[in-house]
Chain A
């Protein structure tokens, strides 16, 4: 299964990544190889198995609606490359 260059460009755009022509060719090969590897799952006969996202049959743990202290703003912002007025400052996102 081989991805087209257009598909690689589309995936890159969804991740807001800009790729060089050379990278597009390289990632096309790598992504195709990953898909081929995952495609091996298709060989398993699943005709009699219903779609299964979880194998445990339990209720999701639920939380009572009671507040608790979160993180101090300074700590939240401590990893941010750029901060202004207690907010994360980010570059403009590639639109469209």
Chain B
């Protein structure tokens, strides 16, 4: 069998997190709301209405275009895409076609294997969503809530070479969208939808063979599985001497299979023409500069900087930059602390993240502020508390909102390093456990950890474990 490589391009629809729809003042997000409750004459296509463009949609799209290094057009146009379907009340979708908001650009994907895949961006435009059709017992029901919800359609070049790369594209895109604050990018809520174009060719070849289009791959796993499935199917076809035909396939997540779909309209059938109800979008330099004034450092740049500037392992840097607020939290804590950033990273990667995940906290709104986390590490450094106390203190700060020092003082959590107090407890422990003492003296020195643990327990974690060990060793020598 010869070697093949996959040629994959992805088309994504990104739901922007604006408050209102793209061309009317209806609420954009209707998740879990009853059907036909966020609609008006504009988004239901009643006669005589005019669309008015939502400024925030343009601004959010400019942020994404800039992140993709795309060229942003100073003048762009809306176009009508005509097709007949019951969930499209106007009979056309307002979209952009040949003079969209942005064109060109690329997105670099660092792969876990260590290489970077550069994906070119073919198309980036804004458009309105259609409504939702539900099929129930042979009946079709239409809900227009989603009509007019703002979308960005972004299409890549045929640059991805495996199902894993395609999955990675979605993972990084989702991260970026949340980072930029332009979409919730929740695939389960269809904020981020994906179609995949797949073909294969002999490895090393540069030809483009007929491709199939897979619809409805709406989770990271679905993208990976559907594409892998299709690559294998196409290889089997070619190996059997058959040709791959340009089908449209539907991914069924339940059965993990692909099914051939009805053929759709071709591009010419959409009869695109300029939307006469909307003027062109003029994006002058002043507006563009205002939009990009607060453009953030992007996740991959920040990840690299964390490694360089703070000497963090790649692993830590990756986790700490998964989300923008989390990485801001980390950096604020490092600044407040002023010592070894790795110590703050260790707290973040274990205790702080666990707290965030278990309690569903927003890193930017925690009562355990970055400054308090820094203060806790400061107390450990100063020998005021030990690590066990510090871990418990962290939770107490989050629960009470009081400062770490105040809690240490109020609850008497400061570490006892006074030898005599520890010595008394250690003697008690040895007296209560003659069998263990005997074993230890006969050479089972691994019991030392257990003895230290007993002392710590009796002192409710306040003893300095190093002092306790020293004292115990002395006593057991006698």
Contact, CB under 8 Å: A62 / B279: no
Contact, CB under 8 Å: B55 / A65: yes
Contact, CB under 8 Å: A88 / B142: yes
Instruction: A16 to B265: give the CA distance in the assembly, Å.
Output: 12
Contact, CB under 8 Å: A66 / B25: yes
**Which residues of B252-304 are within 8 A (CB) of A?**
262-263, 265, 269, 274, 276, 278-282
Identity of the chain B residue whose Cβ is nearest the Cβ of A70 in the assembled complex:
B40
Contact, CB under 8 Å: B35 / A85: yes
**How close is A3's CB to chain B, nearest CB, in angstroms?**
15
Contact, CB under 8 Å: B55 / A93: no
With beta carbons under 8 angstroms apart, the residue of A63, A67, A92 that contacts B52 is: A63
Stretch at the interface among A22-30, A35-43, A53-61: A53-61
**How close is A34's CB to chain B, nearest CB, in angstroms?**
15
Instruction: A48 to B323: give the CA distance in the assembly, Å.
Output: 54
Instruction: A93 to B86: give the CA distance in the assembly, Å.
Output: 8
**How close is A35's CB to chain B, nearest CB, in angstroms?**
14
Contact, CB under 8 Å: B25 / A90: no
On whether A86 and B279 interact (CB within 8 A), knowing A63-B55, A65-B18, A67-B26, the answer reads no
Contact, CB under 8 Å: A60 / B53: yes
Instruction: A58 to B279: give the CA distance in the assembly, Å.
Output: 8
Instruction: A91 to B85: give the CA distance in the assembly, Å.
Output: 11
- Chain A 58-85, CB-CB to B under 8 Å as 1, else 0, gives 1111111111101101001100000011
Contact, CB under 8 Å: B36 / A59: no
Residues of A within 8 A of B52 (CB): 61-63
Residues of A within 8 A of B39 (CB): 70-71, 73, 76
**Which residues of B83-107 are within 8 A (CB) of A?**
83-86
Instruction: A87 to B35: give the CA distance in the assembly, Å.
Output: 7
Residues of B within 8 A of A73 (CB): 34-37, 39
Contact, CB under 8 Å: A86 / B35: yes
Instruction: A84 to B83: give the CA distance in the assembly, Å.
Output: 25
Stretch at the interface among B133-141, B154-162, B184-192, B342-350: B133-141
B403 close to chain A: CB less than 8 A: no
B144 close to chain A: CB less than 8 A: yes
On whether A61 and B279 interact (CB within 8 A), knowing A14-B265, A87-B141, A87-B142, the answer reads yes
With beta carbons under 8 angstroms apart, the residue of A56, A63, A67, A96 that contacts B263 is: A96
Residues of A within 8 A of B56 (CB): 64-65
The number of A-B residue pairs with CB atoms under 8 Å apart is: 116
Contact, CB under 8 Å: B53 / A61: yes
Chain B interface residue count, Cβ-Cβ cutoff 8 angstroms: 48
Most chain A CB neighbours (cut-off 10 Å) among B25, B26, B134, B263 = B25
Instruction: A64 to B59: give the CA distance in the assembly, Å.
Output: 11
> How many of chain A's residues touch chain B, expressed as a range?
20 to 34
**Which residues of B27-43 are within 8 A (CB) of A?**
27, 34-41, 43
With beta carbons under 8 angstroms apart, the residue of A61, A63, A87, A93 that contacts B36 is: A87
**How close is B448's CB to chain A, nearest CB, in angstroms?**
65
Identity of the chain A residue whose Cβ is nearest the Cβ of B77 in the assembled complex:
A53
**Which residues of B316-335 are within 8 A (CB) of A?**
none
Contact, CB under 8 Å: A76 / B36: yes
Instruction: A7 to B320: give the CA distance in the assembly, Å.
Output: 59
Instruction: A60 to B55: give the CA distance in the assembly, Å.
Output: 10
Residues of A within 8 A of B26 (CB): 67-68, 70
**How close is B72's CB to chain A, nearest CB, in angstroms?**
16
A45 close to chain B: CB less than 8 A: no
Residues of B within 8 A of A77 (CB): 36
B44 close to chain A: CB less than 8 A: yes
- Chain A 6-22, CB-CB to B under 8 Å as 1, else 0, gives 00000000111000000
**How close is B22's CB to chain A, nearest CB, in angstroms?**
9
Contact, CB under 8 Å: A84 / B139: yes
Residues of A within 8 A of B25 (CB): 63, 66-68, 70
Identity of the chain B residue whose Cβ is nearest the Cβ of A15 in the assembled complex:
B84
Contact, CB under 8 Å: A62 / B274: no
Most chain B CB neighbours (cut-off 10 Å) among A54, A62, A92, A93 = A62
**Which residues of B41-90 are within 8 A (CB) of A?**
41, 43-44, 52-56, 58, 77, 82-86
Chain A residues with a Cβ under 8 A of chain B: 14-16, 53-54, 56, 58-68, 70-71, 73, 76-77, 84-93, 95-96
Identify 10 new A-B residue pairs, CB closer than 8 A, beyond the known A66-B19, A67-B20: A16-B84, A60-B279, A60-B281, A68-B26, A70-B26, A71-B40, A76-B144, A88-B144, A90-B141, A90-B142
Sampled A-B contacts (21; CB under 8 Å): A58-B279, A63-B25, A63-B53, A66-B25, A67-B19, A67-B25, A67-B27, A68-B26, A70-B27, A70-B38, A70-B43, A73-B34, A77-B36, A84-B139, A86-B36, A87-B36, A87-B134, A87-B143, A88-B142, A95-B262, A96-B263
